[in-house]
Amino acid sequence: MRTSYNPTRTTTRNTSAAARGGWQAKALVGGLALAASYFYVRAKTAQAERENPPRGRFIEVDGVRLHYLERGEGPVVVLLHGNGIVANDFETSGVLDALSERYRVIAFDRPGYGYSERPRTTLWTPDAQARLLHHALQELKVDSSIVVGHSWGTMVAMAMGLQVPDFVRGLVLLSGYYYPTLRMDAPVAAQPVIPILGDILRHTLTPLLARLIWPLMEKRVFSPRKVSERFRQLPVWMMLRPGQLRAAGADAALMAPAAMSLAKRYDQLRVPVQILSGTRDKIVTPAIHSERLHEALERGDPGSELQLEPGVGHMVHYAHPELVARAVDAIAAQVGEPVTLRSPRAEALARAGESGV
């Protein structure tokens, strides 16, 4: 029996084999590229942490280890940074030094940022972060505080003011996001929290892409002004570590729903508020956020004050760190000096003085 030869079938078989071979080759190249980027990101992360060790102190509260900077003496001022950044942002901007001349200033790395932990078992809403940081401040023997928040940190500051008004003496809110609005960048920023895929990408390609567009991000947050040379002192790769990218992505995903939840309670706020914003902010529009919040609060007690800085973008604390200090001073003058508890030693000395011993 003779077998007929079918050139079409042979050609199809060869084409399929070639296609499989081409796909396998591309998969191999892709896998090698991911592996190379993984080891590069891992090396850059280790280098960043080696060159920028923790400069502050640590405290463990509610099972979470938090890192914070502390300077100065006097009434306490707490600083809460924005998304994608670290507590050192307040140091490079000059705010921390300006305030530490007359206040005890505590700047936290919020959960997941810098050297602070962010357990994945908790949904870290502004309310959850505020509760954790308040507990940390109690552990640090802080009885009351003025709270300063920038950008995403303003939501944590607002949450703390709503939760513990007897503890929070006042709020200074810088370039804040207060109402749910459509953000085209939020889905992209939230990519590192996508299950499995996000974990793979934030250890491989996402840090590399973020590093490429970092100069554009800098220009956007500082626009229309030039990027501050002080800001460039911050170590970029500390902000691009996989763990911090996940924290920033989670905060981005939570931004609109968190603002929606908080906005329903703004009328319950009972602490004085100072609102600062740049008129040319390209990240959060002042009319939609800062001005609207001021209108909602100014009719209440004790109300709010709004200061809009002409020609300033999102990083108002770099443009005018002295205005941040003045806003804190205004709150302190409005509420008076806090009543602090005496230490046992001070109490003993006072009793000895009263007894004439």
Digitized pLDDT (tens) for each residue of the chain, 357 residues in all: 555 555 555 555 555 555 555 677 676 766 787 888 899 999 999 999 999 999 999 999 999 999 999 999 999 999 999 999 999 999 999 999 999 999 999 999 999 999 999 999 999 999 999 999 999 999 999 999 999 999 999 999 999 999 999 999 999 999 999 999 876 666 666 677 777 888 888 999 999 999 999 999 999 999 999 999 999 999 999 999 999 999 999 999 999 999 999 999 999 999 999 999 999 999 999 999 999 999 999 877 788 999 999 999 999 999 999 999 999 999 999 998 654 443 343 344 344 433 333
Query: Distance between CA atoms of 63 and 270, rounded to whole angstroms?
Result: 30
Please tell me the total number of residues recorded for the chain in this structure: 357
Cα Rg for the chain, rounded, in angstroms? 26
pTM of the full structure = 0.86
Structure tokens at 217: 């991000």
Closest CA to 174 of 276, 104, 61: 276
Helices 153-163 and 242-263, packing angle to 10 deg = 50
3-state SS, residue 66: strand
